[in-house]
Structure 1
Amino acid sequence: MLIRIVSILFPLFALTALGYFVGRRMRPDLSHANKLNMDVFIPALIFAALANKEFHVAEFGSLTVATLLLVIGSGAAGYVLARLSGIAPKTFVPPLMFNNCGNLGLPLAVLAFGDAALAPAVVMFMVSNLLHFSFGAWLLDHRIEVWTVWRVPSVLATFAGLAVGIAGVEVWPPLMLAIKMLGDISIPLMLFALGVRLTDSRIASLGLGLYAAVARPVVGMLLAFAVLQVFDLSAQERALVVVFGALPPAVLNYIFAERYHQEPEVVASMVLIGNVAAVVFLPVALAMVLP
């Protein structure tokens, strides 16, 4: 089991570590690459997964609601912990609420459970991503117009993919292959860019960073097991829910905190330490769910 877990996690951490090493040595400017990934490659990955003729959205209704409860529950728990600890909720809640289900979650799902896990993993990413760009942004700045979330390319790709899938339209195979090839770029680029991004993070608050690094996966996994008592999910979906709960804070939390001037140095510490702590928590989650 240990060898199996290491073989699953090694490619993730190897690419992230390579990105960190290159980021420290070469200081590459990945701003354009990250924008391309957010605006082109990730939307292509989402569309290809949802528009696939083998994808049936009705099959993932329970998983969608379960993921929604996980994200909202994590936010509620984060708010309580912030109040009890005297931390600003706007600083602490987003890293607890929104995990790294893109950079780590999608590749981890495929490596651990095979290509068939990509579609449900995309559904979970879709729910978290939609909430992050709407409620998450509004949480940091109440002047944000939530309805503008539809302009986000990954959200547009979600709606387009769902529309094609529900309508039963079969995309011309050569075109679908081209879209899948674009989507295939996104996962390794996400991991590499994550490593580069971590070189920009600074540990401004070690205590809060460690607190969030432990609270995020512990709260997530406890909520995951609670949710699994309510919903009748397939074995693969149950495993994905537990792994989703164990994921560290999303890097996007730092980007949002910087954009809205909400203690970005503190949030950066939470993201950095949290993603390093994933070396401990992700193997624990995998050990719980792997057959």
Structure 2
Amino acid sequence: MLLRIVSILFPLFAITAVGFLVGRRAKPDLSQANKLNMDVFVPALVFGALANKSFHIMQFLPLLGATTVAVVGSGLLGWGVARMIGVAPRTFVPPMMFNNCGNLGLPLAVLAFGEEALAPAVVMFMVSNLIHFTFGAWYLDHHARLASVWRVPSVLATLAGLAVGIAGIEVWQPAMLAIKMLGDISIPLMLFALGVRISESRISAIQLGVTGAVARPLIGMALSVVLIWLVPLPERERALLLVFGALPPAVLNYMFAERYHQEPEKVASMVLIGNVLAVAFLPLALAMAL
């Protein structure tokens, strides 16, 4: 079991470590690469998974509901922890709600549970992404223009993929292969960029960073265990939900905090320490899930 867990996690942390080392030594500017990833490669990955002829959204409705409860429940519990420790909820709650289901969650799902796990993992990513770009933006700034969410490429790809899948349209196979090849770029690039981002981050609030880094997977895993008990899910989806709960805060939380001027240094500390501590929490979640 230990060897299997190491073999699953090693590629993720190895690519992230390479990104960290390159970031330290070469200090590359990945702004354009990250923009391409978010605007082209990740949407291709999402569309390819949802528009696949073997994908049927109705079979994932229980998972969709459980993921929504997991995200919202993490925010509610995070709000309680924030009030308890005297931290601004707008600083603490988003990192508790929105985990790294993109950079780490998608590749981890495929490595741990096979290619068949990509579709349900994309469903979970879709739920988190939609809530982050709507409620997450509004929570940080009540004047945020939510109409702009429909211009986010990954959201458009989600809607297009769902429309194609629900309508039963079969996309020309060579076109689907091209879309899949574009989507395959996204996962290693996300991991590499995560390593570079970590190398650039600075810890300014260690105590809060550790608190948030530990609270995020503990809250997530506790909620996942309850949801697995309450919601009838297939075995693979139960395992994915448990791993989803253990994921660290998303890097996107820092970008949102910076954009809306909500103590970005503190959020960066939670994100950085959380992704480092993932080396401890993800093996635990995999041991419970496998």
Deviation string for 1:214-260 (max 9, x for gaps)? 10000000000111121100000000000000000000001111111
Residue 274 of structure 1: CA displacement? 0.2
SS at match of 1:25: helix
**Partner of residue 172, structure 1:** 172
What TM-score do you get using the length of structure 1 for normalisation? 0.99
Deviation string for 1:7-59 (max 9, x for gaps)? 00000000001001000100000000000000000000000000000000000
- Confirm whether residue 158 of structure 1 aligns to residue 158 of structure 2: yes
- Confirm whether residue 287 of structure 1 aligns to residue 287 of structure 2: yes
Q: 1:50-199 alignment to 2 at 5 Å?
A: 50-199=50-199
CA RMSD of superposed structures (Å): 0.5
- In structure 1, what is the Cα distance between the partners aligned to 2:256 and 2:179? 29
- In structure 2, what is the Cα distance between the partners aligned to 1:117 and 1:130? 20
- In structure 1, what is the Cα distance between the partners aligned to 2:200 and 2:141? 24
**Partner of residue 274, structure 1:** 274
Deviation string for 1:160-203 (max 9, x for gaps)? 00000000000000000000000000000000000001112111
- In structure 2, what is the Cα distance between the partners aligned to 1:22 and 1:117? 31
- In structure 2, what is the Cα distance between the partners aligned to 1:252 and 1:289? 26
SS at match of 2:200: coil
**Partner of residue 48, structure 1:** 48
**Partner of residue 226, structure 2:** 226
Deviation string for 1:86-134 (max 9, x for gaps)? 0000100000010000000000000000000000000000000000111
Q: 1:259 is aligned with what amino acid?
A: R
- Structure 1: give runs of 5+ residues left out of the alignment: none
Which stretch shifts more, 195-204 or 58-67? 195-204
- In structure 1, what is the Cα distance between the partners aligned to 2:194 and 2:216? 18
Q: 1:276 is aligned with what amino acid?
A: V
Q: 2:204 is aligned with what amino acid?
A: A
- Percent of counterpart pairs with the same letter? 72
- In structure 2, what is the Cα distance between the partners aligned to 1:203 and 1:145? 31
Residue 148 of structure 1: CA displacement? 2.4
What TM-score do you get using the length of structure 2 for normalisation? 0.99
**Partner of residue 27, structure 1:** 27
**Partner of residue 12, structure 1:** 12
Residue 273 of structure 1: CA displacement? 0.3
Deviation string for 1:54-95 (max 9, x for gaps)? 000000000000000000000001100001110000100000
Which stretch shifts more, 102-111 or 144-153? 144-153
Q: 2:161 is aligned with what amino acid?
A: G
Q: How many residues align?
A: 290
Residue 147 of structure 1: CA displacement? 3.0
